[in-house]
Amino acid sequence: MSEHGSEIALVLLDAVMPGESGEIGLDRLRAHHIGIPVVLMSGYAESDATRRFSSAGELAGFLAKPFRSAELLRTVHEVLDGRQPR
């Protein structure tokens, strides 16, 4: 829990981040929040992007960019409900 009394329920992570790679960001996140679900967003093909991130543990979902807000909401709801995103 944070100092404000809330927990991080899910992380949306872009494969390409300013200043450092998404892989480094995911490694740092996993070092402190091992079980937190992570949804990867990328303009790369899903198989290529998820393979790059496989060393940091399983991803909860994937969103191919560009995506619509309805796709984002559906994926977030499915992950938070414990379902495998479509």
Tens digits of per-residue pLDDT, 34-78?
Answer: 788 999 999 999 988 888 887 767 899 999 999 999 999 999 999
Contact (Cβ atoms closer than 8 angstroms) between residue 25 and residue 46: no
Q: Which two tokens stand for residue 31?
A: 């070092």
The pLDDT value recorded for residue 86 is 61
Q: Which two tokens stand for residue 26?
A: 């995911």
Where in the chain are the domains? Answer: 11-80
Homologous superfamily assigned to 11-80: Response regulator (3.40.50.2300)
**Chain-centre distance of CA 55, in angstroms?**
14
Assessment of whether the complete model's pTM goes beyond 0.85: no
